[in-house]
Amino acid sequence: PETITSGTALNARSQSAAILAGKTEQVLGYKNGILGPTFRVQRGSTVTIPFTNGLSEVTNIHWHGLLVPASMDGHPDQMVMAGQSFNYTFKIDQTASTAWYHPHPHEKTGKQVFMGLAGMFIVESPEEKALNLPSGNYELPLVIQDKRLDTNGAIMYSPTLEEVMIGYMGETITVNGANAPVQNVTTRTYRLRIVNGSNGRIYSLALSNGNSFMVIGSDGGLLAAPETVMSLLLAPGERADLLVDFSKVALNSDVFLQSNSFSGVSSQGSQSFKIMKFTVNKAETDTFKIPTLLNSLTSISAASAIKTRTFDIGVMMDMGSGGHGGSMAMKGMHTINGKVFNSNRIDESVTLNSTEIWEFDNTKGDEPHPMHLHGTFFQVISRTGGRGNILPHEKGLKDTVLAMPGEKVRIIVKFEHTGKFVFHCHNLEHEDDGMMLNFEVK
């Protein structure tokens, strides 16, 4: 996708694009073709994005990973009607990071994202620039999504009840809207900024030659120090900032970024996918040295938390019980503390500038839930059960954290932004099914 800064208009509308080579189909997009442009803005700048809803239904834009005022956050209350416009404007006041944007209309987010409405949003800063990380041609923004296509290559979105349960998945993996892209690279280190923009699919990212790679950042910016990994589990909504050294690949050969099968949940784990191909086609001397210190991160002390809130995310509503306020009889199977989303209800009231521990308890559950908070970053302080520890890409600032079946994940948050925000599961079928609550900071 093209790279833009402030002032560029976005228009959500039907577009034509080719997901499979040679098969042009109607998709949704914000500018040209599927998805939206990649924003690249400097910390401290004020961004203005005139937005028009060219769809025939409501939509809006949520800036996932940007600390914007509540009035600009794309809460499901703040809809832009079909044919209407809204001017998003906010100051970028946070560390350099890889964020993204997508619609947030309740019960329609899954469909609109799957049909193509999403984009990447990169925040840069002088501190990060001083690290001389690979940039320009050596920095690749990659939005990874799975699509289900019909025989003509058109995207199909029509989840069955079973797919509302597990999340809607497809067998065609796309990168920036294209299936199986090929990227020529030279024999040096590249920076891969990855967004998992899928509705329900979790990827176990790895290189096909079995080489290790480095995690340098996650949702909220760079880690304190690089972490070497062989693979990385990335759930919907999460970002990974990676360094891959292609000097370890023979000249004129290929290596794939792939997703390996993984254990923990049967609805996800049985398949592996080749996501994209890197062809190492040119020798180039690389003087880049990975800095040993990337970012000064201070951990929030657990002792500073004034409160612990626990959220049971592992209980499925009995589909036969009905009567929990959903507009459709089959809605509301996914809950948080037994509740489904109600836009008018404040579920959690938080005091401005207070620090709290939030615990997502999936010990009774059998589906993975990537839990996401708007309006703040957080730190992961523990994971018990399941994978049992904090993973390399979870050592930085996060806004989305995966709780696998059997796991209890604790996060610590300092709430520094006032207003009404949502927190929800980022499996978009779960979210649309009501697995979302409001919290208000004041």
Q: Cβ–Cβ contacts within 10 Å for residue 78, how many?
A: 17
Q: Is residue 424 at the binding interface for ligand C2O, with CB under 6 A as the rule?
A: yes
Q: Is residue 196 at the binding interface for Cu ion, with CB under 5 A as the rule?
A: no
- The correct pick among 31, 62, 201, 383 for binding ligand C2O (CB under 6 A) is 62
- Closest by Cα among 206, 208, 153, 204 to 177: 153
Identify residue 433 by its one-letter amino acid code.
D
Q: Is residue 201 at the binding interface for ligand C2O, with CB under 6 A as the rule?
A: no
Phi, psi of 66 (to 5 degrees): -105, 135
Q: Is residue 427 at the binding interface for Cu ion, with CB under 5 A as the rule?
A: yes
Do 243 and 189 contact (CB within 8 A), yes or no?
Answer: yes
Q: Give CA 380 to chain center in angstroms.
A: 16
Task: Show contacts with Cu ion in window 372-401 (CB under 5 A).
Answer: 374
State which residue, 188 or 372, has the beta carbon closest to ligand C2O: 372
Q: Is residue 102 at the binding interface for ligand C2O, with CB under 6 A as the rule?
A: yes
State which residue, 23 or 414, has the beta carbon closest to Cu ion: 414
Q: Where are the alpha helices (DSSP H) in 70-214?
A: 109-115, 126-129, 161-166
Q: Cβ–Cβ contacts within 10 Å for residue 281, how many?
A: 13
Least Cβ distance, residue 110 to ligand C2O (angstroms): 11
Binding site partner of 102, from Cu ion, ligand C2O, none, Cβ cut-off 5-8 A by kind: ligand C2O
Least Cβ distance, residue 279 to Cu ion (angstroms): 35
CA pair distance 38, 23, nearest whole angstrom: 24
Identify residue 34 by its one-letter amino acid code.
I
State which residue, 331 or 372, has the beta carbon closest to ligand C2O: 372
Q: Is residue 64 at the binding interface for Cu ion, with CB under 5 A as the rule?
A: yes
Site track 369-408 with ligand C2O (rule: CB under 6 A), x = hit: ---x-x----------------------------------
Query: Rounded to whole angstroms, what are the CA distances from 299 to 208, 293, 419?
Result: 35, 15, 25
Least Cβ distance, residue 267 to Cu ion (angstroms): 11
- Closest by Cα among 35, 9, 151 to 103: 35
Binding site partner of 237, from ligand C2O, Cu ion, none, Cβ cut-off 5-8 A by kind: ligand C2O
Query: Rounded to whole angstroms, what are the CA distances from 394 to 216, 235, 382?
Result: 11, 12, 10
Q: Is residue 357 at the binding interface for Cu ion, with CB under 5 A as the rule?
A: no
Q: Pick the stretch among 34-42, 312-320, 327-335, 419-427 that binds ligand C2O (CB under 6 A).
A: 419-427
Cα first-last separation, the chain = 39
Q: Pick the stretch among 158-166, 222-230, 325-333, 420-428 that binds ligand C2O (CB under 6 A).
A: 420-428
CA pair distance 274, 269, nearest whole angstrom: 14
- The correct pick among 29, 33, 237, 326 for binding ligand C2O (CB under 6 A) is 237
Q: Give CA 137 to chain center in angstroms.
A: 23
List of residues contacting ligand C2O (CB under 6 A): 62, 64, 102, 104, 237, 372, 374, 422, 424, 426
